[in-house]
Amino acid sequence: MSKLRPLHDRVIVKRLEEERVSAGGIVIPDSATEKPTRGKVIAAGAGRILEDGKVRPMSVKEGDTVLFGKYAGQEIKIDGEELVFLKEDDIVAIIEG
């Protein structure tokens, strides 16, 4: 994949596949599944530029697994991989462990 470096408070995320089997053991077809809202951070910018010109560092880093809104960000395909460009504000949580 091409080396990408997002600007400022932007993050590049690769969606993680959701489970395709329900808790009761029923297999969910592709047409009935929703877009995953979990992803792995592929790259992160340096941080938000504040009004006084200082840079606030990012809360997320490369390799973090994050939760984000269903319709958040902009989807783009690069080298055959579907990625999502998000602002740091669109990330709801970091999944630890």
In order along its 97 residues, the chain shows pLDDT tens digits of 558 788 888 999 998 876 666 566 666 665 545 566 889 999 998 888 889 989 898 889 899 999 988 888 888 888 888 899 999 888 988 988 7
- The pLDDT, as a whole number, for residue 27 is 65
The conformational region for residue 29 under phi > 0 = left, psi -120 to 50 = alpha, else beta, is: beta
Tell me the Cα Rg of the chain: 15
pTM over 0.95: no
